[in-house]
Amino acid sequence: MFFFYEILAITFLLFSPIIFAVRIIIGKEDFNRFLEKFCIYKKYNKNQTIWFHGASVGEIMSILPIIKILEKNNKVQKILLTSTTTSSASVIKKIKFRKTEHVYFPIDENYLTNKFLEFWKPKVAIFIDSEIWPNMIENLKRKNIPIVLINGRITPKSYKRWLRFPNFAKKIFSSITLALPQNKESKIYLSKLGVKNIKIAGNLKYFGEKKTKVNSDVKRIIRDRKIFCCASTHDNEEDLISEAHKKVKKSINNLLTVIIPRHVYRTDRIVRLLESKQLNVITRSSRNKISKSTDIYIADTYGEARKFYEISNLCFVGGSLINHGGQNPLEPVRGKNYIIFGPFVHNFKEVYDLLLHLKIASKVKSLNNVCELIKKKINYNHSKKILKKIDEMGKRVLKNNIYEIDKFI
């Protein structure tokens, strides 16, 4: 199976000039840095690294507390952080590191993954969530570099996918030195797939940084509007959001709906949709001022979502009205938001179950559900006890992960 996988990887490599050209044009690749995916770097590395890899923004944000702790560790010379998306690179760029360097993850082809490992010399490879790359893992194993999976998550859907190639899956997963899954379900699936050493450490996303002061710029532009925040929205979700806004603004006349799209490259498409519904729309990137007639404000910049969570009381979390599996709701919860979500949250089931148990979230299935909850919860503010409980869970999870990672440093 590795042979066929490598054929696919080589085929992708052959067509990569066309693929990357298209992706650069549509804004999904960085023209100045895409060569990093071919292991072409502008500098030389001489230090052994502690390597972390996460696919996108969510995974990267979940491990930042770990990286900040390791940067203070005298045993750690250098930390390498890799990701695959331009959005994650934009967020990382805003963070001041002392020992940490970011590059893009290479194409998962045998020669390139070998070249990557020779260049960066990782002492340990730490993958986040469900990032499993066969050629990279195989080459790590050949070089006797420990492989750790933290915040490990295997869903029923991804488990069934791996079962289509049982021998291939076993060869890959049995190479993992240590897996620290989020929950019991993932532990069971990881064990069935061939991982031997498994310890439940909990979900890293329960841990959150201390709140920062709300940016005065955000306060100034929002003024005294009632905010309905819609985070990590996907295709087809803005349609329902816009209809809800039109209905509810008849009774809450100073309502402002803030949309934070999961992928900012969709902004123009979202604007066209909303304007076709005769809604007054402003994007953050335009720097235009919000007026009394503004209906929708689109936060189409990277790394600013938290600013909006801090000034809202109610947040719809996207990826849940479509069969995507949901997005992490914990950051808006820390902003003291009541959470609204759709029926499709299987990727974060454990988290949403907790929020329902704490009575700080509601599942919606229709436009009327959404409208009713906006009216009821627009001024919501949950207690400090609930935040304290979530913070305590987060601190335990962080401690568990640091304890296990420290064994490989």
84 in any annotated domain: yes
For the range 186-194, what are the long-range contacts, defined as Cβ-Cβ under 8 Å and sequence gap of 24 or more? 186/152, 186/153, 186/154, 189/154, 189/156, 189/159, 190/149, 190/152, 190/154, 192/159, 193/154, 193/159, 193/162, 193/169, 194/169, 194/170
For 117-155, how does the pLDDT look when each residue is reduced to its tens digit (9 = 90+)?
999 999 999 999 988 999 999 999 999 999 999 999 998
24 in any annotated domain: no
Is 177 found in the same domain as 247?
Answer: no
30 in any annotated domain: no
Is 285 found in the same domain as 402?
Answer: no
Structurally, the chain folds into a number of domains equal to: 2
CATH of the domain at 80: 3.40.50.11720
5 in any annotated domain: no
Mean pLDDT of the chain: 92
For 368-408, how does the pLDDT look when each residue is reduced to its tens digit (9 = 90+)?
999 999 999 999 987 788 888 888 999 999 999 999 999 99
Is 291 found in the same domain as 226?
Answer: yes
315 DSSP β-pair partners: 229, 339
Residue 216: pLDDT over 70: no
Is 319 found in the same domain as 352?
Answer: yes
29 in any annotated domain: no
Is 220 found in the same domain as 126?
Answer: no
28 in any annotated domain: no
Predicted confidence band of residue 218 (pLDDT cuts 50, 70, 90) = confident
Residue 215: pLDDT over 80: no
> Structure pTM?
0.83
Is 194 found in the same domain as 49?
Answer: yes
Is 168 found in the same domain as 265?
Answer: no
Q: Which domain holds residue 111?
A: 35-208+396-408
**Alpha-carbon span 290 to 386, nearest angstrom:** 33
Task: Please give the pLDDT value at position 272.
Answer: 96
Is 155 found in the same domain as 277?
Answer: no
Residue 223: pLDDT over 90: no
Is 188 found in the same domain as 246?
Answer: no
50 DSSP β-pair partners: 79, 124
Residue 214: pLDDT over 80: no
Is 164 found in the same domain as 248?
Answer: no
Is 170 found in the same domain as 53?
Answer: yes
**Alpha-carbon span 29 to 84, nearest angstrom:** 9
Is 116 found in the same domain as 44?
Answer: yes
297 in any annotated domain: yes
147 in any annotated domain: yes
